[in-house]
Amino acid sequence: MATIRDVAKKAGVSVATVSRVLNNKGYTHEDTRKLVNEAIKELNYKPNEVARSLFKKKSRLIGLLLPDIRNPFFPELARGVEDEMQEQGLHLIIGNADEKTEKEIDYLQTFKQNNVIGIITATNQAETSYYDNLSIPVVFLDRTTISHPSVYADGLEGGRIAAHEIIRRGSKRIALLRGPVEFQTAQDRFKGAVDELCKANVDFQVITSSFSFHDAEVMAKALFEKYPEIDGVIASNDLSAAAILHEALRIGRSIPDDLQIIGYDDIPLSKLLYPPLSTIRQPAYDMGREAARLLLKLMNKKPIVENNIQMPVSFIERQTTRKVDKNG
Amino acid sequence: MATIRDVAKKAGVSVATVSRVLNNKGYTHEDTRKLVNEAIKELNYKPNEVARSLFKKKSRLIGLLLPDIRNPFFPELARGVEDEMQEQGLHLIIGNADEKTEKEIDYLQTFKQNNVIGIITATNQAETSYYDNLSIPVVFLDRTTISHPSVYADGLEGGRIAAHEIIRRGSKRIALLRGPVEFQTAQDRFKGAVDELCKANVDFQVITSSFSFHDAEVMAKALFEKYPEIDGVIASNDLSAAAILHEALRIGRSIPDDLQIIGYDDIPLSKLLYPPLSTIRQPAYDMGREAARLLLKLMNKKPIVENNIQMPVSFIERQTTRKVDKNG
């Protein structure tokens, strides 16, 4: 592997000159720059990133904080971010904070110590002031905040659509699952659904549920024991919808004739469930891409038209909901 | 934030001395070391990782290469690696290579340039010699190779068990899905199943399938059109099993009475399918942990008893397979 010394020798200049050219700092004559760049190309010299980042106090690393990559919504987000960054020659340090403030702060510290040039966070238990103090551009992803640049899907609208679609398809006694209270996005979709349910002439129950696989199973069992009369479920995410669907079929409920279910997220497996899950789609991959683009603009100090990018959601009609009446 | 200069001032020593203590290099009197460490503690000084890594030519970063984090098997692996590394104060740069040699090599280059101190790779399209030339400790994960340290599950045995269980539960005309030919692990489970099928008095079909969501759906439709008579499917992974299950129910096959299905992996969603999927479990999270431990030993030059760690697989009996006959 060629070193900076080899480049300097080949170009007939000092190491300091090569360094100036590499980092685009200080004065170098155009001819010299040309010589150096030719030598770099010829020797296929790859500058050591750490040395460069120390010199420039910059790396080519982006920190990405997630709640938990095992939740099938987040791999989509992460790939969106990665694919956009990779096209710019930037790479990701990823951390899962498990919604724990301590882990979140620990990772932010790590990002800082590794001189990341930007951060995308899909979790923020920590006070947002903590992010401000880092002096690194930050984009919040899948988190609603007006105080900071952010990319998120329209949860209020998503909740409204879910409730609207299940009501117009005839459910009268509806269970509304509420995701973890500390997630702003979960609360948005919850509030949207409540607004819509309140407007209609239907009964509804609110059941709080976590987003984990295990809890979803337990919750599903309890739901039908406690409320056997329900004829519609608006789930807090596709995971809990899958658990509800599973339990409903196990106890002999007929889907969608006797019970309708609407999920939230549209994770890849939802269409492989049986019956395939009707759900509210969040464009996870595109949200990741969009957050990366916004961060790139911030880092490059480019003009930003919209600091808070709200992405659209949509109803994906599959077979856990009935067809709409012609009169519906 | 305290700097190395603040520490030096507080301890009444030179910056070079603080650096020697930090990096445990060169001679420092015990009393001096004590003074420096007290100053570090008191000021809550966090050394800049990049500066340290340049000095020591070391970082606290590990490179983790995956095929695609969106395949639900890999988030489990990745969390296992991350959790073990995090306990050691090490962090991950993650890259998805999409089984493309070019992306794989690009990421390895990035890892090298960021002075990662170790690499775990769950993909290796590139020649293994490429890894050797990096002069960085490498562990192959979910990849069978005797030439390099590795952690993988016993695919041959997994395939054998799958075939054994479906045969003893009475399937006679079996479709065996074969994963991508370029995956050693997919081929191992395939070969194990073929061995077992050949020993028994059953008919079987081999169908090659990819590991992607979309392809699984297409393959499932084609399978039942071409081979309507099959009464058992040994899938190449849980994803393709879910697609088969979905299609089988759609066309009115009765599971497991009329058709049995066995998956592979035991991804978290498999138990939420309906009926819940019988499958061969690979201990993905533990495999990640084990790979991290092996890499840590390699990096610390600790004695290694076993360079190639084979993890056990097991049959998870759920409801896409029939109960075993008392005579079975």
Residue range A273-287: average pLDDT? 96
pLDDT over threshold 70, residue A7? yes
Helices within A12-100 (DSSP H only)? 15-23, 30-43, 49-56, 73-87
CB A91 within 8 A of CB B82: no
Does the bond joining A67 to the residue before it have cis omega, within 30 degrees of 0?
Answer: no
Write the DSSP assignment of B225-271 as a string of letters: HH-TT--EEE-SSHHHHHHHHHHHHHTT--TTTT-EEEEEE--GGGG
Task: Look at residues B90, B89, B109 and name the one whose alpha carbon lies nearest to residue B101.
Answer: B109
Q: For residue A232, give the 3-state DSSP assignment.
A: strand
Q: Quote the pLDDT of residue B328.
A: 47
Looking at per-residue pLDDT, the higher value among B232 and B126 belongs to B232
Which helix (H) or strand (E) segment is A62 a member of?
strand A61-66
| Alpha-carbon gap: B145 to the closest alpha carbon of chain A (Å) | 27
Q: Where in chain A is the domain with CATH 3.40.50.2300?
A: 61-153+285-312, 155-282
Burial class (CB in 10 A: 0-12, 13-18, 19+), A214: exposed
CB A64 within 8 A of CB A94: yes
Residues of B within 8 A of A213 (CB-CB) are 268-269, 272
What is the C-alpha to C-alpha distance for residues A65 and A131, in angstroms, rounded to an integer?
A: 12
Give the other-Cβ count within 10 Å of A115's Cβ.
Answer: 20
CB within 8 Å: B53 and A51 = no
A16-20, A268-272, B168-172, B309-313: least confidently modelled range: A16-20
Residues of B within 8 A of A95 (CB-CB) are 82, 91-92
Q: Which of A53, A75, A276 sits opposite B75 (nearest CB)?
A: A75
pLDDT band at B252 (very low <50, low <70, confident <90, very high): very high
Q: Which residue, among B74, B103, B120, B269, would best test binding to A if mutated, counting the most A CBs under 10 Å from its CB?
A: B269
Q: Tell how strand B314-316 and strand B173-178 pair up.
A: unpaired
What is the C-alpha to C-alpha distance for residues B287 and B306, in angstroms, rounded to an integer?
A: 14
Name the DSSP class of A67: S
State pLDDT tens for residues A222-246: 999 999 999 999 999 999 999 999 9
Which helix (H) or strand (E) segment is A91 a member of?
strand A91-96
**Burial call A224-253: b when 16+ CB within 10 Å, e when fewer:** beeeeebbbbbbbbbbbbbbbbbbbbeeeb
Q: Which of B59, B70, B272 sits opposite A268 (nearest CB)?
A: B70
Nearest CA in chain A to B134: A1
Q: Quote the pLDDT of residue A63.
A: 96
What is the C-alpha to C-alpha distance for residues B224 and B230, in angstroms, rounded to an integer?
A: 8
CB within 8 Å: B272 and A213 = yes
Residues of B within 8 A of A284 (CB-CB) are none
Residues of A within 8 A of B50 (CB-CB) are 50, 53-54, 59, 113-115
Q: Which of A47, A82, A245 sits opposite B96 (nearest CB)?
A: A82
Q: Quote the pLDDT of residue B1.
A: 66
Element counts in chain A: helices (H) and strands (E): 12, 12
pLDDT over threshold 80, residue A212? no
Mean pLDDT (chain A) is 89
Work out the percent of chain B whose per-residue pLDDT is above 90.
Answer: 59
Work out the percent of chain B whose per-residue pLDDT is above 70.
Answer: 95
Which is the CATH superfamily of the domain at B155-282?
Response regulator (3.40.50.2300)
How much of chain B is in helix, strand and coil states, percent to nearest 5? 45, 15, 35
CB within 8 Å: A61 and B93 = yes
Residue range B92-100: average pLDDT? 91
Mean pLDDT (chain B) is 89
Q: Quote the pLDDT of residue A233.
A: 97
pLDDT over threshold 90, residue B322? yes
Helices within chain A (DSSP H only)? 4-11, 15-23, 30-43, 49-56, 73-87, 101-113, 128-132, 155-168, 184-199, 213-226, 238-250, 284-299
Q: For residue B61, give the 3-state DSSP assignment.
A: strand
A156-170, A276-290, B68-82, B139-153: least confidently modelled range: B139-153
What is the C-alpha to C-alpha distance for residues A176 and A162, in angstroms, rounded to an integer?
A: 10
What is the C-alpha to C-alpha distance for residues A178 and A207, in angstroms, rounded to an integer?
A: 6
Q: Quote the pLDDT of residue A134.
A: 87
Q: Which of B46, B70, B95 sits opposite A109 (nearest CB)?
A: B46
Q: Which residues contact B30 (CB under 8 A, 6 or more apart)?
A: none
Q: Which residue, among B87, B111, B114, would best test binding to A if mutated, counting the most A CBs under 10 Å from its CB?
A: B114
State pLDDT tens for residues B233-243: 999 999 999 99
pLDDT band at A292 (very low <50, low <70, confident <90, very high): very high
Q: Quote the pLDDT of residue A132.
A: 85
CB within 8 Å: B91 and A110 = yes
Q: Quote the pLDDT of residue A234.
A: 97
Name the DSSP class of A268: G
Q: Which of A59, A246, A274 sits opposite B246 (nearest CB)?
A: A274
pLDDT over threshold 80, residue A189? yes
pLDDT band at A328 (very low <50, low <70, confident <90, very high): very low
A78-92, A257-271, B115-129, B302-316: least confidently modelled range: B115-129
Residues of B within 8 A of A93 (CB-CB) are 61, 91-94
CB A320 within 8 A of CB A256: yes
CB within 8 Å: A213 and B92 = no
Task: Look at residues A303, A312, A319, A305 and name the one whose alpha carbon lies nearest to residue A241.
Answer: A319
Q: Quote the pLDDT of residue B185.
A: 84
| Alpha-carbon gap: A246 to the closest alpha carbon of chain B (Å) | 5
What is the C-alpha to C-alpha distance for residues B11 and A136, in angstroms, rounded to an integer?
A: 31
Residue range B267-285: average pLDDT? 93
- Residues, chain A, total? 328
Does the bond joining A180 to the residue before it have cis omega, within 30 degrees of 0?
Answer: no
Sign of the four-CA dihedral B200, B202, B207, B209:
negative
| Joined tokens for residue A110 | 């790590």
| Joined tokens for residue A151 | 């990319």
What order do you get walking across the sheet with B232-234 strand by strand? Answer: B203-208, B173-178, B232-234, B260-265, B278-281, B314-316
Q: Quote the pLDDT of residue B50.
A: 53
Q: Which residue, among B274, B285, B318, would best test binding to A if mutated, counting the most A CBs under 10 Å from its CB?
A: B274
Q: Which of A51, A70, A91 sits opposite B95 (nearest CB)?
A: A91
Q: What's the one-letter identity of residue B297?
A: K
**What is the dotted CATH code of the domain comprising A61-153+285-312?**
3.40.50.2300
- Tokens 């899950």 belong to residue: A277
Q: Quote the pLDDT of residue A54.
A: 47
Rounded to the nearest 5 degrees, what angle is found at the Cα of A22, between the Cα atoms of A17 and A25? 70
Task: Look at residues B238, B163, B233 and name the one whose alpha carbon lies nearest to residue B205.
Answer: B233
Residues of B within 8 A of A72 (CB-CB) are 72, 75, 269
pLDDT over threshold 50, residue A188? yes
Burial class (CB in 10 A: 0-12, 13-18, 19+), B102: exposed
Q: Quote the pLDDT of residue A165.
A: 98
Q: Quote the pLDDT of residue B326.
A: 63
CB within 8 Å: B268 and A70 = yes
Residue range B264-273: average pLDDT? 91
Beta pairing partners, B153: B311
Q: Quote the pLDDT of residue A326.
A: 62
What is the C-alpha to C-alpha distance for residues A71 and A221, in angstroms, rounded to an integer?
A: 21
Q: What is the CATH T-level fold of the domain A4-56, as seen in this structure? A: 434 Repressor (Amino-terminal Domain) (1.10.260)
Q: What's the one-letter identity of residue A63?
A: G
CB A62 within 8 A of CB A115: no
Residues of A within 8 A of B93 (CB-CB) are 61, 91-94
State pLDDT tens for residues B17-62: 887 888 776 678 888 888 888 888 888 887 765 555 544 556 789 9
Q: Where in chain A is the domain with CATH 1.10.260.40?
A: 4-56
State pLDDT tens for residues A75-133: 999 999 999 999 988 999 999 998 888 899 989 988 998 889 999 999 877 777 888 88
Looking at per-residue pLDDT, the higher value among B109 and A24 belongs to B109
Q: What is the pTM of this model?
A: 0.81
Q: Which of B68, B94, B276 sits opposite A92 (nearest CB)?
A: B94
